[in-house]
Amino acid sequence: MCAKLKTAVLGASGYSGLELTRILGRHPRLEKPVLLQREGSDGARDLAEVFPQLSGNGGYPMAGLCWSELKRQGVQLLFLATPHEASRSLVPQAIYQGLRVIDLSGAWRLKQAQHRAIYSFDDEDQANAGGLTEQAVYGLPELNGDCIMQAQLVANPGCYATSVILALAPLVSGEVIDREWGIISDSKSGVSGAGKAPSAHTHFVSVADNLSAYSVFTHRHVGEMVEQLGLSDGELTFTPHLLPIPRGILSTIYVRLTRAMQAAEVEMIYRDCYASKPWVWVFAPPKLPQVQYSLHSNFCDLGFCLAGDGRRLVLVSCLDNLLKGAAGQAVQNMNLMYGWDEREGLQ
Amino acid sequence: MCAKLKTAVLGASGYSGLELTRILGRHPRLEKPVLLQREGSDGARDLAEVFPQLSGNGGYPMAGLCWSELKRQGVQLLFLATPHEASRSLVPQAIYQGLRVIDLSGAWRLKQAQHRAIYSFDDEDQANAGGLTEQAVYGLPELNGDCIMQAQLVANPGCYATSVILALAPLVSGEVIDREWGIISDSKSGVSGAGKAPSAHTHFVSVADNLSAYSVFTHRHVGEMVEQLGLSDGELTFTPHLLPIPRGILSTIYVRLTRAMQAAEVEMIYRDCYASKPWVWVFAPPKLPQVQYSLHSNFCDLGFCLAGDGRRLVLVSCLDNLLKGAAGQAVQNMNLMYGWDEREGLQ
Amino acid sequence: MCAKLKTAVLGASGYSGLELTRILGRHPRLEKPVLLQREGSDGARDLAEVFPQLSGNGGYPMAGLCWSELKRQGVQLLFLATPHEASRSLVPQAIYQGLRVIDLSGAWRLKQAQHRAIYSFDDEDQANAGGLTEQAVYGLPELNGDCIMQAQLVANPGCYATSVILALAPLVSGEVIDREWGIISDSKSGVSGAGKAPSAHTHFVSVADNLSAYSVFTHRHVGEMVEQLGLSDGELTFTPHLLPIPRGILSTIYVRLTRAMQAAEVEMIYRDCYASKPWVWVFAPPKLPQVQYSLHSNFCDLGFCLAGDGRRLVLVSCLDNLLKGAAGQAVQNMNLMYGWDEREGLQ
Amino acid sequence: MCAKLKTAVLGASGYSGLELTRILGRHPRLEKPVLLQREGSDGARDLAEVFPQLSGNGGYPMAGLCWSELKRQGVQLLFLATPHEASRSLVPQAIYQGLRVIDLSGAWRLKQAQHRAIYSFDDEDQANAGGLTEQAVYGLPELNGDCIMQAQLVANPGCYATSVILALAPLVSGEVIDREWGIISDSKSGVSGAGKAPSAHTHFVSVADNLSAYSVFTHRHVGEMVEQLGLSDGELTFTPHLLPIPRGILSTIYVRLTRAMQAAEVEMIYRDCYASKPWVWVFAPPKLPQVQYSLHSNFCDLGFCLAGDGRRLVLVSCLDNLLKGAAGQAVQNMNLMYGWDEREGLQ
């Protein structure tokens, strides 16, 4: 058997970082991951201080980031679970050190300047990025598997974006959507999607017994969706909502078909598209996915409902924002990058 | 000062019935309401046995329904918080007894046979209804105030329907919606909307940490929406979802405008329409209503977000399904029927 | 009819402040309350900016605190819903201005220095307080009604303390508790009890799907309980827990009786004690209060369960921490201070 | 490597059954488990019809129970996740067929007739049990490991009982508890502990935003606790509460020590007792376990807080009621019965 791969995680003390650390820790192809702390973080020396739920599973020591130390330890792959500003400056350094990188932030996902603008990456930043923007592979394994295998830098998709793109890709590539009518995604996410930093918006009393829409027309993930699906701006209307649950995403997506179809025909488009994809599950109508079904798994669950007119189609897409929407997908990408089964370590 | 009105409530032991009992109990124009039990109910003799939260407020005795006894007590107005089958058979009797009736069920809301079909009201039933179907006034005070004042039978609207109709009515009557494009309402409701009967779907473990779509294209409230807004079938796509909260509705509604407009112009349409309506509140953009804001109030809160193209419009409509969506609206209707201020007893 | 009382609220933008503002706004004996902002607060000029749920009810303008302006407006009673440090310095000024004061913080509740120490009030502070510590009346209307009527300064009790003291007072004064065995209160509170400031502990993801004990043996409210019940330190073991709900407290309290009793005898002790108290409700065994029953009301609900041995007694006490545990009780105190019915404005 | 063990699960369609099926399905020592349906169940032919979250993981066919078929398939170990009445009649048959049995119900946990009475097992039932009552081993691995290894029938402990016994056993066996003072366990459980059958008590609206105590002094699990800890009846006061969360238990336990101790001494008692037990985790004071930390794991987390007097001790014990409180512990028992590492399949 081959030697095991040595990986490192920077930013393990966030919600995605915790999930990533857990999955990597039991992945059969890996050595125990090296956990790295960002500068200016709270100074915990073991991840179990931050997440006591890890206490019983042995130590999770964290160290500061030091490139030469990473090299000494033989680390070959670096996961970044850091804010996009940090990722934007760290990734070029890591690539320069010869590491392969999977970045969970939004820093490297976007190819078009007008979409990057929403992250405030300006021309100077783009110059500093030195071509990495173009090299970075958008890490949606179901669509970009071949490129991911070869990638040195994988930009792990956003959670909302994963839920929307996987639901729409078969229809868009099948050219059965009335593009002029447009696409609407009414998406709802649990609170962990907003990150661990305390704020008025994530206070329990603000979220419980509530539902709210936010960032209508302006959410950062729209750029990814539009670019990956090959849509033009304004074609997709995306409305995110904050759900009173810790984790999980459900997107209800509305499209019109170019011609009246049967449900069986629509189902076949999905089954053909995802036949060999282990982490997309297509529900046979009239069954629809629910948030609960995909929690604590790496599945993106897809279902749909077709109106009697055969034209109006409602898609429902569910996933766990911390797994298929973040850490699980990152591991799925690693599996592809190293030629392993996509399911390895994720079951 | 005039003599106080004597009312009765049949079906007080449901969620809407509880709210109704509470509001009527403190309404300044009313005598203490007579509480009536449906045949075959659980036999509680006081509503506080069913809802211990009433214990400290004095007795809430319940009796069986007896028309002559109601007459003897001087009851003039009957609220029915009963299943639609029960309302369908009880209302003609009540009207025959000379009572005015506000029915909270779906039994009398629909004018068109194809919509009534979903309640399984057949021709025989329609014959028995003896013209009441036509006489019944759809009790949405903001739209039908004049008819409600005169009505002997008010069909209190559905909770989802109230949230959707109030959001759309100003735009539909203003003829600014691209009707060919259609209308989409992605609505989300708390669990009390599903009633008090225990079921697999309302089990805490099924609902908590979850979100699910249901009855896509087939929900009973679509008929009300379509009839009241003057739409044709198929013009409105309605997707209800079950939220992990006890009460509250948020509808996110998608329309296209016939021409590019400014947000201020859209806002003005709403303000003009609801200027004198005390129970509709229009949020000034970019503020949007949230479920929490309308809980425990009789408000329907409306807000919107207009895309940069001036055409794509996202409406957000929130209300408390047990108040503006049921018991509160019923009391608002009563206020109109007896010439009182619409706010009476609801603040 | 007498002239209406003019009141002011400082600190309306917290959870208790919101409830207080709502109750005062509809209290029949009061003019519209003056809302005051603390220095350094977020600068909202209307409370509806902080709490959009107030939007539909007319304006709630807030101004900075200015004693002469208060005098000019004819304010006679000031509510302080401020942190204890602020209350400690503001109350002497308010009293000096001739105002009556109801302070919702912990600043003036404690008579014994060893208990005040936990609030870090030192000797210098005590000197500055100039006798007010002694004058302040602990505002638990069921126990201290006579003193409250005359009080210039009422120290409104803590939420946990209210729930525990009301449950225990009848038994302690009846001398039926085995004091040597001690008293245990295992209390559970919703998150609003922790205040509105965002923190890691109030983040939705930290609280949802969770329960945690905190401040075991060291919670600030123990001092109030011990002083008001006349216990010695160490006699009461108090363990608070954080519940995944927005509001509500349930205390499960364990005592031993000095002699074997019947349930009816215990019930009689409670009924005698609270016969004329409108805001304490005693459940007849075997019924027990639940958090839900007291939410959005000013009731403290009490119930108990007696073991077959007639000695081991479990008490259950529930209330809404923002009403009977804060704002509602403050209004109840005001009603006493001005000779009105205790229920006025609270139903 | 040895041949893999063939197991069967009767009652997979309950919450514990689902967890058990998942764990057994990925246990490295086992063949795929045979899933059996109880007579009169809902007739699903695949467990994924009941739990759509299983859909993506391949088939979970269920068959009716047939002893000869089980023999033909080579099943050696049967898990019963059935109601206690069913277990009481099925276990003797299974033992007669030569199967080893792990029963998750309360049917075989109790040795003393007065405790069994609460399950309504009468003399005739006891006669039918034919000595199995005595043979059954109480399956708490940390206490009864040796007996479990040899057992033909393991009675898997109750969820509350596991949480309370593991917290108390070290102190009871160390004889440091003031037994005359007694023991109080104030326990709180998520709703899955009440089972999957819909009822008024498990309706979302009844549970959400609520907390309630129930079965005070009379809960069925008290018998187990008393028997396993060697207490006399009345020594333990146990109050269960229903938490608004899907899963998880937290027990807050109150004892008095026979002499004043230091926290370090208490901690040592726990560490000594559980040094070699992989599924009990002892928190170093002042840290305390929380429900969240143990969810989705097989850990029982223990912590404590000692009063300044060195005598009053508050213990906090947390576990996932469906894992360490049911399915996880059943697998831990299986591991012992077959001589495997206790952690096998549970990480």
In angstroms, what CA-CA distances link B213 with B157, B205, D29, D196? 22, 17, 40, 21
User: In the numeric block, which tokens belong to residue A260?
Assistant: 């009246």
What is the H or E stretch that residue A69 is in?
Answer: helix A67-73
Nearest to C211 among D209, D243, D254 (CB): D243
CB atoms C191 and A208 under 8 Å: yes
Pick among B204, B209, B247, B291 to test the D interface (most D CBs inside 10 A): B204
Pick among A53, A54, A324 to test the D interface (most D CBs inside 10 A): A53
pLDDT, residue C20, reads: 98
Domain ranges of chain B: 7-156+326-337, 159-319
Q: Closest Cα of chain C to A68: distance in Å?
A: 34
Q: How many CA atoms are closer than 13 Å to the CA of C338, on its beta-carbon side? A: 21
Query: Secondary structure of chain B: what % helix, strand, coil (to 5)?
Result: 40, 20, 40
Q: Is C303 left (phi over 0), alpha (psi -120 to 50) or beta?
A: beta
CB atoms C56 and B297 under 8 Å: yes
Average pLDDT, chain B: 95
D44 contacts D63 by C-beta, under 8 angstroms: no
Residue B33 gets which letter from DSSP?
P
Task: Report, as an integer, the average pLDDT of A248-253.
Answer: 98
CB atoms D244 and C245 under 8 Å: yes
**Alpha-carbon distance B198 to B125, whole Å?**
29
pLDDT, residue D51, reads: 95
Q: What is the pLDDT of residues A219-243, one digit of tens each?
A: 999 999 999 999 998 999 999 999 9
Q: What residues of B are labeled active site?
A: 159
9-28 of A, contacting C, C-beta below 8 A: 15
Which architecture does CATH list for B159-319? 2-Layer Sandwich (3.30)
**Alpha-carbon distance B306 to B290, whole Å?**
18
Q: C73 touching D, CB under 8 A? A: no
* Cβ-based contacts under 8 A for chains A and B: 127
Q: What is the pLDDT of residues B37-51, one digit of tens each?
A: 887 666 789 999 999
Residue A275 gets which letter from DSSP?
T
Q: Closest Cα of chain C to D7: distance in Å?
A: 33
Q: What is the pLDDT of residues B241-295, one digit of tens each?
A: 999 999 999 999 999 999 999 999 999 999 999 999 999 999 999 999 999 999 9
Is D159 labeled as catalytic in the residue annotation?
yes
Q: What is the pLDDT of residues D119-134, one digit of tens each?
A: 888 777 877 787 899 9
pLDDT, residue C129, reads: 83
179-208 of D, contacting C, C-beta below 8 A: 181-182, 184, 186, 188, 206, 208
Chain B hits for A288, CB-CB cut-off 8 Å, are 212-214, 216
A241 contacts A212 by C-beta, under 8 angstroms: yes
pLDDT, residue A193, reads: 95
Catalytic residue among A2, A147, A159, A318: A159
Nearest to C316 among D213, D247, D250 (CB): D213
The dihedral formed by the CA atoms of A316, A322, A326 and A329, expressed in degrees to the nearest 10: -70
What is the H or E stretch that residue D34 is in?
Answer: strand D34-37
Minimal Cα distance from C50: which residue of B? Answer: B293
- The pLDDT confidence band at residue D224, using thresholds 50, 70 and 90, is very high
Task: Check for a shared fold between D7-156+326-337 and D159-319.
Answer: no
Average the pLDDT over each of A6-10, C31-35, D110-114 and give the range with the smallest value: D110-114
Q: B251 touching D, CB under 8 A? A: no
**Alpha-carbon distance C132 to C116, whole Å?**
14
Which chains have 3+ CB pairs within 8 A of C? Answer: A, B, D
Query: Is pLDDT above 70 for B53?
Result: yes
Q: Closest Cα of chain D to A121: distance in Å?
A: 38
Query: Is pLDDT above 80 for D42?
Result: no
Q: C283 touching B, CB under 8 A? A: yes
pLDDT tens by residue, chain C, 347 residues = 568 999 999 999 999 999 999 999 999 999 999 999 887 666 789 999 999 999 888 889 999 999 999 999 999 999 999 999 999 999 999 999 999 999 999 999 999 989 988 888 877 787 778 789 999 999 999 999 999 999 999 999 999 999 999 999 999 999 999 999 999 999 999 999 999 999 999 999 999 999 999 999 999 999 999 999 999 989 999 999 999 999 999 999 999 999 999 999 999 999 999 999 999 999 999 999 999 999 999 999 999 999 999 999 999 999 999 999 999 999 999 999 999 999 999 98
Kindly report the backbone phi and psi dihedral angles of residue B109, in degrees, each rounded to the nearest multiple of 5, phi listed first: -85, -25
Query: Is pLDDT above 60 for B338?
Result: yes
Residue of D166, D188, D305 lying closest to C210 (CA atoms): D188
pLDDT, residue A22, reads: 96
In the three-class reduction of DSSP (H, G, I as helix; E, B as strand; rest coil), residue D133 is classed as: helix
Nearest to A314 among B239, B247, B250 (CB): B239
Task: Report, as an integer, the average pLDDT of A195-215.
Answer: 97
CB atoms B210 and A248 under 8 Å: yes
CB atoms C291 and D316 under 8 Å: no
**β-pairing, B183-189 with B249-256?**
antiparallel
In the three-class reduction of DSSP (H, G, I as helix; E, B as strand; rest coil), residue C18 is classed as: helix
B20 contacts B12 by C-beta, under 8 angstroms: yes
pLDDT, residue C321, reads: 98
DSSP string, A311-346: -EEEEEEEE-TTTTTTHHHHHHHHHHHTT--TTTT-
CATH topology of domain B7-156+326-337: Rossmann fold (3.40.50)
